[in-house]
A and B are shown apart, each in its own frame.
Chain A
């Protein structure tokens, strides 16, 4: 059984990671055209697909962030957010290797001037936390 402090710690992690994705989702959902241009800058998808993703992905982040906070469809939310973060890290690295000067706009205007390293560090921190939450929830499930 997890101690009370461990339970508190993992719950806090849920709230932090869920909050980050809700924030990122809301910021992009209110300006889908700006996000469509950000996706287009990666030069990986045709505009017709990118613009549709720009309308969909923010809501997916938002719904999954809420799932994490409410612990409703928790593992499904974790699964999607882990996959999204992994894909985003891969896309950022590929864009960098191709020499593209991208602004991800993931966290709105405040993040536009972050360096590539700062972006990557935050993304890896989120990815590691998501994986840790996944492992923790599996352990908890086995105990039940």
Chain B
């Protein structure tokens, strides 16, 4: 029996719903279904700067971008060299310090990912993502 491509496609589309719904049920309490719910982790530049020496700045951009320029005193920590760079950050960290992670701009994802790993894997508290990232920092210095 020949089944048309469209009919086959519709059946495959329906078939994929089965594991997807199963996974969604498994994750139902771990996901924010209506909004990204990231407000608590974001920090704007003024707030972050007001923390002064209590803030550790973490640059989540690739190495070459960090080498070109970065926030003074920032520590590089990207996912490529996570294991290699993390000890430097941990050596500077103490309980009262807040961590501010930034990447290149508002739309980049690296800072959120690094912040998530610092919370989930390294067990650090008070980890924030800089709104607007490096772009915002640069604008404030002009």
Contacts and interface: CB of A to CB of B under 8 A. Distances in A.
B141 interface: no
B23 A77 contact: no
B8 A59 contact: no
Interface stretch (B28-36, B49-57, B88-96): B28-36
A67 interface: yes
B107 A101 contact: yes
Contact of A56 (B17, B79, B80, B108): B17
Contacts of B34: 47-48
A105 B8 CA distance: 28
Contacts of A43: 107
A60 interface: yes
A105 B6 CA distance: 29
Contacts of A79: 5-6, 8-9
Contact of A55 (B6, B8, B27, B32): B27
Nearest to A77: B12
B1 interface: no
Interface in A44-59: 47-48, 51-52, 55-56, 58-59
Contact of A113 (B5, B35, B62, B109): B62
Interface residues of A, number: 39
Nearest to B23: A55
Contacts of B30: 33
B33 A73 contact: no
Interface string A84-123: 0000000000000000111101000100110000000000
Contact of A32 (B3, B23, B79, B109): B23
Contacts of B17: 56, 59
Contact of A103 (B7, B12, B13, B108): B108
Contacts of B79: 109, 112
20 contacts: A32-B31, A37-B113, A41-B108, A43-B107, A47-B32, A48-B33, A55-B27, A60-B13, A60-B20, A63-B12, A74-B8, A75-B8, A76-B6, A76-B9, A76-B12, A77-B9, A80-B9, A102-B109, A109-B79, A113-B80
Those 6 A-B pairs whose CB atoms lie nearest each other, nearest first: A76-B8, A75-B5, A76-B9, A73-B8, A60-B16, A100-B107
Interface of A: 29, 32-34, 36-38, 40-41, 43, 47-48, 51-52, 55-56, 58-60, 62-64, 67, 73-80, 100-103, 105, 109, 112-113
